[in-house]
Amino acid sequence: MKAGEEFLLRYLEGHDKRFVIPVYQRNYDWKREQCEQLFNDVVGIIKQSQKSYFIGSIVSIHNDNSVDREYVVIDGQQRITTITLMLLAIHNLLETEELETSNPSLKDQIKEQYLLNKYSEKNKRIRLKPIKDDNKAFLKLFQNQTDEFIKDSNITLNYEYFVENIKGLKEHGITVDALYEAIKKLTIVDIKLKRGEDNPQLIFESLNSTGKKLEEADLVRNFILMDKKPETQEKFYEKFWHPIEKNTHYKVGDFIRDYLTYARFKTPRKDRVYVEFKKYVQEDFNTPEALEKLLEELLKFSQFYRSFLSFDTDDVDVNGALKRIDRLQVTVSYPFLLDIFYAWSEEIIDSKGTAQILQIIESFVFRRIICNVPTNALNKIFATLGRNIRKVENFSERYVDIFMYLVSAGSSSNRFPDDEELTNELTKRDVYNLKGKNRIHLFERLENHNNREKVDVETLIEAKKEGLTFEHIMPQTLNTAWKKDLGENHIQIHEKYLNTIGNMSLTAYNSALSNKPFLEKVNKDNGFKNSRLWLNQNLVHLEKWTEEEINHRRKLLTKRSIAIWNFPETVYTPPQKEDTEIGLDEDFSFTGTKPKSFSFLDQYYPVSTWREVYQKSLRLFYELDPISLTSLIDESIHRRYLGRTKNTHNHSWKMNDSIYLNINLSAHSIISIIKELFIEFDLDESEFVIRIHDYDEQDDQEPIEALTLKALG
């Protein structure tokens, strides 16, 4: 590797030099903000008479397979491309005589020194070659026919920004000659790598670039393609990566994260997708042939992902269920959806089974929303469902039934609220103040269930003006007439039922109905009697609206809700009791349970008591960072379980010469301590999973007398 300071234009010039942005690089994505900053910096050179101005580093590697001096740009493509756009804007403005210069040769100088290689092959004449779509937009600029420009490209938008701002410099007394001289003062650090000697991937990862931060997907793409031969890069990009980008709507980082969750049964942090993907490849796909197999699988799974985003399968019921899951924003379910679609593609399940599973997922998630079940368990649930199904012998014969059993058998924060819980919750739930999409989902499904004349509730609600709105039948503000109709308990009735499902409906005439008396709301020209909505049909024949009618309607809508978001019924029973795995990040009470093992950072440790969980995990924290754990002893919050001597607590266990643990603790206290340490060590709680025995009533405390018989070693 060679590195040295260089003026940018000297770096670019050379009659046979060409700069290629490799396919593993991200698209050119500088926006106006970055271009404006660079342009202002160049103008600042003029105003402050600076001799030079540093704009960052450019890392390149010489392509030995090319006859010409072809440099593959590893880092710095945003700066090279942007400066080239600025130079091209100057050239084109001079060519159309929209700018004046005292240097008659300036136009040709820019063209022949920095933009074109005059004597190269036709397809290599332009010095800079951006990647695929960027290159198409870039080539159009050279023709200087504005009606042919590709308008939705950052290349075009930034070029047009420079054109307008360069033309505007004249008003500030700055000539194009001064601008060009300022550009000549831009400096870079030129880092040239030697092919076969330097590892471009490691260098790329360690760069602290001043440009726009790379996304996790950019790092993954670079890792896959960077160290390959140019022809392999082109093949992998065209055959795999570019189609994956399109299938995932360019949400490749999210897709890779969900794929890793599907493949490894745990969800990587968003800022560690690249690190975990790299580890996954190095562990299981560390040959070129294996990597290509992985890319083939990623391409296949990206086609599944496209269906999650576009609802474009050949089955209308599957598409409808996917659309509803999308409306509920249950992206956390995507890892399991990958498993479902893989099972469908392998004919383990058919389209009917696929639609049935998706509908149950919708029910599972929406019942939990209505019943206020914490959402933090969903990551683990959907990360492991596929694995737990496939652990069952002959799962391919009963995939749907096994799924229904597993999803309905959860308890605590993993539970699928049953009909009784849903009924009780809908008696009091404030549905009016549900999160926007959830409220729309509730009323859209209530309206359209088994209704052949579907109403596009979501579109009509989002249209706002002249669309549908949520209507309180008993109004939000009671006037004298309403108080009289509700009776002497009108205050209590209003407080209890105002925002509940029994008192809510939809209308396009909310302002007209307002707080009118009930019969007037029914019989007005735009009232409930003229509504075509199912939600308003049962109101037409009523003479009054009191607590009795609200409760009757609530029962009607609750019965409909139970039918729509049904609880799964299956005759399947597991051949034997399964151990239960609980993540540290889940809301679960371990009191009365007996541990069997736990996993910590991908390693499993067998245990038989909670004390062993405690002792082994504390030792693992110590091995991870002994200084950090030892330093906690002096903090008051940690003294209840950490000490420097055996006399600190009544019942102590010596972990080493400097740390003694209080081991007279319940399962609940042990879990609380481990959670505290995960926070202290900045670790993800999902990295700690406990496997417990299925159990009857058991005591999680070990007799203190037995301590003398225990030694962990």
Q: Please indicate, yes or no, whether residues 279 and 139 belong to a single structural domain of this protein.
A: no
Residue among 338, 257, 358, 268 nearest 297 (CA): 338
Q: Please indicate, yes or no, whether residues 254 and 391 belong to a single structural domain of this protein.
A: yes
Please report the pLDDT score of residue 281 as a whole number: 93
- Residue pair 190/80 in contact (Cβ under 8 Å)? The answer is no
Which two tokens mark 548?
Answer: 């009795």
Assess whether pLDDT exceeds 80 at residue 233.
Answer: yes
Span 91-133, pLDDT tens digits: 999 999 999 999 999 999 999 999 998 777 777 889 999 987 8
Q: Please indicate, yes or no, whether residues 172 and 293 belong to a single structural domain of this protein.
A: no
Q: Please indicate, yes or no, whether residues 33 and 51 belong to a single structural domain of this protein.
A: yes
Span 132-171, pLDDT tens digits: 789 999 999 998 888 889 998 999 999 999 999 999 998 8
Average pLDDT score over residue span 345-361: 97
**Chain-centre distance of CA 423, in angstroms?**
33
Domain final residue pick, 415, 440, 470: 415
Which two tokens mark 224?
Answer: 């896959």
User: Is residue 522 assigned to a domain?
Assistant: yes
This prediction's pTM: 0.70
- In terms of Cβ atoms closer than 10 Å to its own Cβ (0-12, 13-18, 19+), residue 485 is middle
Q: Please indicate, yes or no, whether residues 68 and 6 belong to a single structural domain of this protein.
A: yes
Domain final residue pick, 380, 415, 450: 415
Assess whether pLDDT exceeds 90 at residue 65.
Answer: no
Least confident of 1-5, 500-504, 626-630: 1-5
Average pLDDT score over residue span 675-702: 71
Q: Please indicate, yes or no, whether residues 384 and 434 belong to a single structural domain of this protein.
A: no
Span 524-542, pLDDT tens digits: 888 888 889 999 999 998 9
Q: Please indicate, yes or no, whether residues 536 and 602 belong to a single structural domain of this protein.
A: no
Q: Say whether 285 sits in a helix, a strand or coil.
A: coil
Owning domain of residue 677: 580-709
Which two tokens mark 681?
Answer: 């060590």
Domain count, the chain: 4
- Residue pair 237/220 in contact (Cβ under 8 Å)? The answer is no
Residue among 468, 484, 565 nearest 518 (CA): 484
Band of pLDDT at residue 312, cut at 50, 70 and 90: very high
User: Is residue 572 assigned to a domain?
Assistant: no
Please report the pLDDT score of residue 707 as a whole number: 34
User: Is residue 569 assigned to a domain?
Assistant: no
Q: Please indicate, yes or no, whether residues 135 and 207 belong to a single structural domain of this protein.
A: yes
Sign of CA dihedral 288, 291, 297, 301: negative
Residue scoring higher pLDDT (123 or 555): 555
| C-beta atoms surrounding 165 within 10 Å | 17
Q: Say whether 206 sits in a helix, a strand or coil.
A: helix
Residue among 607, 626, 624 nearest 616 (CA): 607
Indicate left, alpha or beta for 470 from its phi (over 0: left) and psi (-120 to 50: alpha): beta
Helix (H) or strand (E) holding 656: strand 652-656
User: Is residue 570 assigned to a domain?
Assistant: no
User: What is the C-alpha to C-alpha distance for residues 479 and 492, in angstroms, rounded to an integer?
Assistant: 15
Domain final residue pick, 188, 212, 236: 212
Q: Please indicate, yes or no, whether residues 590 and 559 belong to a single structural domain of this protein.
A: no
User: Is residue 274 assigned to a domain?
Assistant: yes
> Average pLDDT, whole number, for the chain?
88
CA distances from 409 to 84, 397, 579 (A): 62, 20, 13
Q: Please indicate, yes or no, whether residues 586 and 531 belong to a single structural domain of this protein.
A: no
**Vertex 431 angle, CA 426 and 433, to 5°:** 150
Please report the pLDDT score of residue 579 as a whole number: 65
**Percentage of the chain modeled with pLDDT above 90:** 54
User: Is residue 698 assigned to a domain?
Assistant: yes
Please report the pLDDT score of residue 331 as a whole number: 96
- Residue pair 380/686 in contact (Cβ under 8 Å)? The answer is yes
H-assigned helices in 96-229: 106-110, 132-143, 154-168, 176-183, 200-206, 216-225
User: Is residue 571 assigned to a domain?
Assistant: no
Residue scoring higher pLDDT (320 or 513): 320
User: Is residue 633 assigned to a domain?
Assistant: yes
Q: Please indicate, yes or no, whether residues 450 and 541 belong to a single structural domain of this protein.
A: yes
Band of pLDDT at residue 698, cut at 50, 70 and 90: very low
Please report the pLDDT score of residue 64 as a whole number: 54
Residue scoring higher pLDDT (400 or 651): 400
Q: Please indicate, yes or no, whether residues 136 and 116 belong to a single structural domain of this protein.
A: yes
